[in-house]
Chain A
């Protein structure tokens, strides 16, 4: 995995590349995420998708797709506004992502267009109130949710 190959993908998808000790990160806009992930997964060797992580940054949510081969993580990162948290699903090109996207939808409230598990709950219990914010968001207050569930 080289910085050059990630940069080439960056040029094709209009993204920028940053590097850290263990990771090469490609920042792209959300529309370009399926294309970028398909290209990373198609790189020579077997670029295995480890998982998809979502971070609540306040006004925005960062979604990171961690691919891995050898000693480096190749990460495709995008930012979505909290008020409109939707990303096109990468499952057509990378079927392994289906559970990871479903988990992010349950826990962070990001909707992935095209993922078959977007209806109903995946990891969250069915009793979790539908009008409560997704549990990993900063505004989700466990005390308030307990009240909604009439636990106290």
Chain B
């Protein structure tokens, strides 16, 4: 902490955030007042190292919780699945199951199995997306494009089963909207086997290619003290050795019969996140094959009357990024009284801040992607160099190139 009342100074608070002033001794609050351009992250550098990060969220705030109060229960399925394009099905799954818990109805087993299959397919597509992005930000565009091409297999399956690649509208209050098309069961198994083999190949590549590992090993290191203090969720929690997965701890859909393996690591760095997500995607392939084999016949949905009984219900699912929490309250009518949504990225922003501390600007793209943020975080990043008193911003592509050139120079290239 600087004693200089003319230059910048800062104070710390318990969550590792701070109130900061660049001009005078007056603290102006941690979030937005003098930011001239929209920036998701303001990085405060001392010398070369990041000492503090001020996140700013709310750019894509659309008032969905308020909008949900004006729409019927079924219409809200289509609303909440548009919160996120990557984990769209997780949102509709958590919402529909939360609402079903208010009713006395039991979802038929086949419906639960079909939900499990689509949930795991979504996990595969999300993890492959992330693996490709990590490659992209670390400078491996070829890896990025290969992984995304293989990802097309999971998206094609999702389109064949649900009718759409992104906003699938597959889960409904009472089960799923349609059954598997003819021949899909066999196709699921073949494609899952194909994706498994590709993941084996990428695992070999991403753990041995030195120009990649130098950007991921030891980067963004966190430990159990951080994740417990900040209630982290998802792979970020599991990479510090804490073995928690909602599908195992609090099973929903068919997870009591098709049991996931919980992937953990003790390293707490980006390389371990790569391994965990690869392993989880592979395990999803295994679970899809198992679910297809065990799939019971029968109904895939039950008809639930439009007016949901009064009550309140809490439900959470293990979305690809971690715990997705829904709280639903009914007053007995055809629209909800309250829908509260807590997305997994929101829970992990503070952990992302901890991951960035101590790193240089060159590591920002990879470490920030490590927390798997579900917003365009790197459109523009603001940088404040405390000891020089300089403030500037840098866009995503320029930041990516900066990182690639930095490591290229370190390897001895000119």
Q: Which A residues fall within an 8 A CB radius of B?
A: 20-23, 46, 48-51, 53, 55-56, 64, 66, 68-71, 73, 75, 91-92, 94-96, 98-100, 107, 116-117, 119-126, 135-136, 142
**Contacts A120-B29, A121-B32, A136-B66: A95 and B230 contacting too (C-beta < 8 A)?**
yes
Question: B244 at the A/B interface (Cβ < 8 Å)?
Answer: yes
Within the complex, the shortest CB–CB distance from A79 to chain B, in Å, comes to 15
In the bound complex, residues from chain B placing their C-beta under 8 Å from that of A125 are 58, 61
Which residues, 318 to 341 on B, are CB-close (under 8 Å) to A?
A: 323, 325, 327, 329, 338, 340
Judging by beta carbons under 8 Å apart, are B30 and A116 in contact?
Answer: yes
Within the complex, the shortest CB–CB distance from A74 to chain B, in Å, comes to 11
Question: B391 at the A/B interface (Cβ < 8 Å)?
Answer: no
In the bound complex, residues from chain A placing their C-beta under 8 Å from that of B58 are 121-125
Within the complex, the shortest CB–CB distance from B61 to chain A, in Å, comes to 5
In the bound complex, residues from chain B placing their C-beta under 8 Å from that of A107 are 65
Residue of B nearest to A51 (CB): B342
Query: CB within 8 A of B57: which of A73, A96, A123?
Result: A123
Within the complex, the shortest CB–CB distance from A4 to chain B, in Å, comes to 21
**Contacts A96-B229, A98-B350, A99-B350: A120 and B327 contacting too (C-beta < 8 A)?**
no
Residue of A nearest to B324 (CB): A50
Residue of A nearest to B57 (CB): A123
Judging by beta carbons under 8 Å apart, are B32 and A120 in contact?
Answer: yes
Judging by beta carbons under 8 Å apart, are A66 and B250 in contact?
Answer: no
Residue of B nearest to A72 (CB): B250
Question: B75 at the A/B interface (Cβ < 8 Å)?
Answer: no
Within the complex, the shortest CB–CB distance from A107 to chain B, in Å, comes to 7
**Contacts A49-B231, A96-B229, A120-B31: A136 and B15 contacting too (C-beta < 8 A)?**
no
Question: B14 at the A/B interface (Cβ < 8 Å)?
Answer: yes
Judging by beta carbons under 8 Å apart, are B32 and A71 in contact?
Answer: no
Give bound CA distance, A123 to B327, whole Å. Answer: 19
Cβ contacts B11-34/A at 8 Å (1 or 0 each): 001111111000000001111110
In the bound complex, residues from chain B placing their C-beta under 8 Å from that of A71 are 249-250
In the bound complex, residues from chain A placing their C-beta under 8 Å from that of B51 are none
Interface hub of A71, A116, A142 (most chain B Cβ within 10 A): A116
Judging by beta carbons under 8 Å apart, are B314 and A73 in contact?
Answer: yes
Give bound CA distance, A121 to B249, whole Å. Answer: 36
Judging by beta carbons under 8 Å apart, are A123 and B61 in contact?
Answer: yes
8 contacts between A and B (CB under 8 A): A55-B338, A70-B250, A91-B14, A95-B350, A98-B15, A100-B342, A124-B61, A125-B58
**Contacts A46-B242, A51-B342, A121-B58: A99 and B249 contacting too (C-beta < 8 A)?**
no
Give bound CA distance, A26 to B327, whole Å. Answer: 17
Give bound CA distance, A124 to B157, whole Å. Answer: 38
Judging by beta carbons under 8 Å apart, are B14 and A96 in contact?
Answer: no
In the bound complex, residues from chain B placing their C-beta under 8 Å from that of A21 are 101
Question: B313 at the A/B interface (Cβ < 8 Å)?
Answer: yes
Judging by beta carbons under 8 Å apart, are B325 and A116 in contact?
Answer: no
Residue of B nearest to A50 (CB): B325
Give the 6 A-B CB pairs with smallest separation, nearest first. A96-B231, A119-B29, A51-B342, A123-B58, A95-B15, A116-B13
Give bound CA distance, A91 to B244, whole Å. Answer: 23
Judging by beta carbons under 8 Å apart, are A48 and B231 in contact?
Answer: yes
Give bound CA distance, A96 to B316, whole Å. Answer: 18
Judging by beta carbons under 8 Å apart, are A50 and B101 in contact?
Answer: no
In the bound complex, residues from chain B placing their C-beta under 8 Å from that of A122 are 31, 57-58
Judging by beta carbons under 8 Å apart, are A22 and B313 in contact?
Answer: yes
Given contacts A68-B250, A119-B31, list 8 more A-B pairs with CB under 8 A: A51-B327, A55-B329, A66-B327, A96-B347, A117-B17, A121-B31, A121-B58, A124-B61
Residue of B nearest to A136 (CB): B66
Query: CB within 8 A of A116: which of B19, B329, B349?
Result: B19
Judging by beta carbons under 8 Å apart, are A46 and B316 in contact?
Answer: no
**Contacts A95-B16, A116-B30, A124-B58: A51 and B313 contacting too (C-beta < 8 A)?**
no
Judging by beta carbons under 8 Å apart, are A117 and B30 in contact?
Answer: yes
Give bound CA distance, A87 to B118, whole Å. Answer: 42
